[in-house]
Amino acid sequence: MCVKFLLEFKADPDIFDKDGYAPIHAAVERGSADLVELLLEFDAKPDQFQPIRNSIRQLPVQHWTPLHIAAQNNYPDILKMLLEKGASPNLPNNTRVTPLHIAAQQKAIEPLDLLLEYDADTMLVDDDDEPPLFLAIESRLPTHVAKLCNDQTIIDQNIKGETALHIAAKLGFHEIISYLLEQGANVYACDNKGNTPLHFAVVNKHKDCVKILLDAKADMLSRNENHESPFVLSTGEISALMKYYLEKYKETIRAEPVDKTPRSTRTVPSRLRSQMSPSQMEKTTNLQSPSRLQDRRTPSVVSASHSKSSKLKKAQVLTVRVYEEQIEKQIEDMHDLMKSQLDELRTMVRLLNEDMDNSKGQ
């Protein structure tokens, strides 16, 4: 064999050609296990990086190791050979993609199993902050999902703040949603824009996913940064489904009796609190009335000296300004909250009117 002859005469097994290929990259890409084995016998580096180019004239856009190539092309024999020779299963390319990220997207399960057997890290993320689990979900590979899902990856969020459950809900993969919920996925998790998995399922009209999430007690009144709840966003059959679940769970989400406490001593109206999601309750926890703030504006005077009195007056002025800003912000938040509640009430009225019209028609 010519290659063996050259290697015996001290040819460099790690030399790159003009396109950035080392011999081991070419051997792996062609699926030649015998040639890969020969190169490794002559100490070719199993972790050698390969610049991948869109064309010869362009700069390298990413670097793959032989493991990346073997995982991409589903060459389990070569993959095992490289791992046995010490190739790292956790070595990423320059976009932080590991061989496990590649294997997570392939239909064949053997490359994934091999990498996990050699301690590939399931929690390493790429430049989009996505672990291999997210890519397995996007490729709709339930078996891969089960092998990559753990206590950490199930709560990981990508660069958009999306969890594994968000991605499955967005794509309409109801069987994966069911599995993730069984493993403890958070049905209330919000992305960077305040959207829950239920928002995604509703907007993308995945009725089966909506039903599964509602059965898991997803909050249909949870609002995103645009003050839109899944209930308000729903249409057609999903709107009818929402209405059914709203009736089904009315005992837990119905409005409380009217709070007769004077407005100046209340925080958030109790009728609104009954329909607020946990995240919204947290935002209004520190809401205080103007009368309470007024009582705290003047700190007690510790000393009667003129200098301390002057400093105290300045502190009072600053404190008043802070409280005024806080009150203005709280009023603004309450205005937004009331506006979104009004939208939901209008939707409920519309649905009730539709029911009445249907009843009259029958």
| 250 and 165 fall within a common domain | yes
Predicted local distance difference test score (pLDDT) of residue 314: 53
CATH of the domain at 87: 1.25.40.20
Instruction: List the domain range (segments joined by +) for residue 45.
Output: 1-121
| 102 and 216 fall within a common domain | no
Reported as a single tens digit per residue, the pLDDT across 253-277 is: 544 444 444 433 334 444 344 444 5
- 247 or 202: which leads in pLDDT: 202
Nearest to 348 by CA among 225, 229, 190, 207: 229
pLDDT grade, residue 315 (50/70/90)?
low
| 156 and 194 fall within a common domain | yes
| 173 and 80 fall within a common domain | no
- 21 or 61: which leads in pLDDT: 21
- Whether 201 is covered by a domain: the verdict is yes
Last residue of a domain, one of 254, 269, 284: 254
- Whether 115 is covered by a domain: the verdict is yes
| 163 and 222 fall within a common domain | yes
Listed in sequence order, the residues at least 6 apart from 243 whose beta carbon sits closer than 8 Å to its beta carbon are 351
| 246 and 265 fall within a common domain | no
- 292 or 6: which leads in pLDDT: 6
Question: For the chain, how many structural domains are there in total?
Answer: 3
Q: What's the CA gap between 135 and 38, in Å, rounded?
A: 34
| 208 and 272 fall within a common domain | no
Q: What's the CA gap between 180 and 151, in Å, rounded?
A: 11
| 283 and 232 fall within a common domain | no
Q: What's the CA gap between 163 and 175, in Å, rounded?
A: 16
Last residue of a domain, one of 230, 254, 278: 254
Last residue of a domain, one of 188, 222, 254: 254
| pTM for the full predicted model | 0.67
CB 191 within 8 A of CB 200: no
β-sheet bridge partners, residue 63: 51
- Whether 237 is covered by a domain: the verdict is yes
Reported as a single tens digit per residue, the pLDDT across 49-99 is: 655 554 444 434 457 889 999 999 999 999 999 999 999 999 998 889 999
- Whether 128 is covered by a domain: the verdict is no
Listed in sequence order, the residues at least 6 apart from 87 whose beta carbon sits closer than 8 Å to its beta carbon are 46, 47, 65, 66, 67
| 196 and 157 fall within a common domain | yes
| 241 and 277 fall within a common domain | no
| 232 and 270 fall within a common domain | no
- Whether 66 is covered by a domain: the verdict is yes
Reported as a single tens digit per residue, the pLDDT across 324-352 is: 666 677 677 777 777 777 887 888 788 87
User: Cα dihedral sign for 358, 359, 361, 362?
Assistant: positive
- Whether 113 is covered by a domain: the verdict is yes
pLDDT grade, residue 303 (50/70/90)?
very low
- 210 or 301: which leads in pLDDT: 210
- Whether 17 is covered by a domain: the verdict is yes
| 34 and 96 fall within a common domain | yes
- Whether 327 is covered by a domain: the verdict is no
